[in-house]
Amino acid sequence: MYGNVRLLRRRPTGHLPTKSWWERLLKAQPGLRDKIQLATKFGIQFLDGKFQINGEPAYVRAACEGSLKRLGVDCIDLYYQHRIDTKIPIEVTIGELKKLVEEGKIKYIGLSEASASTIRRAHAVHPITAVQIEWSLWSTDVEQHIIPTCRELGIGIVAYSPLRRGFFIIGCQACRRFY
C-alpha cells in the first residue's frame, strides 16, 4: 500500500483509476480521507449489453448511495454527472443532486461534457462547482462558448486529455510505427 500512496503523491492530478482502489487506500490510511478531495462520477449504466446514459432522479440517488458504500465514506466532495441525459431535463437531475447536497451526501456538483446552455440551466437550479471538458490543442471549440460561460458563472474547469490522450507525448513515435 505504501507504494500506492507514493504514486498518489507523484500524480499531478491526484486522479486514480478505480473506485475499488480508493476504497482499499482509504481503509489502509484512515486519516487520508481528511486530507483529500474525493471526486467521482455517475450517469452511465451497462444495461442489456450496452452503455446507457441515465439522469433519472431515482438512479442519481441509487448511484450516489452505491458510491458512498463502495468507497466507505459518508460524503463525496465533488459528484459529476458523467454525461448529460438528453431524455431527462437537466433541471430534474440537478434537482435530485441538490437534495443530496442538502442531505450532506455530496458537497459539490459537477458536470462532464455539457453544453454552455445546459451549464446555465443546471447552474440556475443549484451552483455548479466544476465542468469537466476535453480541452487540448486539437479540442479548442470549448473556448467559444463553454469556457466563457464557466468563467462568467464562476465555475471551475477540469480539462481532460490536455495532451490529446498521449499523442503529444508519444505521437511522433507512434506515427512512425504505421509508416
SS3 call for 159: strand
Alpha-carbon span 131 to 157, nearest angstrom? 5
Alpha-carbon span 139 to 132, nearest angstrom? 13
* Alpha-helix residue ranges (DSSP H) falling in the chain: 2-10, 19-28, 57-71, 90-102, 116-125, 146-153, 167-178
pLDDT (tens digit per residue) in 55-72: 999 999 999 999 999 888
pLDDT in the model for residue 23:
75
Between 141 and 133, the higher pLDDT residue: 133
For strand 50-53 and strand 44-47, is the pairing parallel, antiparallel, or unpaired? Answer: antiparallel
Residues contacting 152, CB < 8 A, separation 6+: none
Alpha-carbon span 129 to 156, nearest angstrom? 6
Residues 158-171, mean pLDDT to the nearest whole number: 65
pLDDT (tens digit per residue) in 34-59: 888 889 999 998 888 999 999 999 99
Longest dimension (CA), the chain: 57
For the chain, the domains span 1-35, 37-178
Give percent of the chain with pLDDT exceeding 70: 77
85: nearest Cα among 124, 57, 107? 57
Q: Phi, psi at residue 56, to the nearest 5°? A: -60, 135
Cell, residue 72 = 466507505
Domain 37-178 sits in CATH at 3.20.20.100
Alpha-carbon span 48 to 71, nearest angstrom? 26
**Model-level pTM?**
0.79
Alpha-carbon span 112 to 97, nearest angstrom? 14
pLDDT at 133 over 80: yes
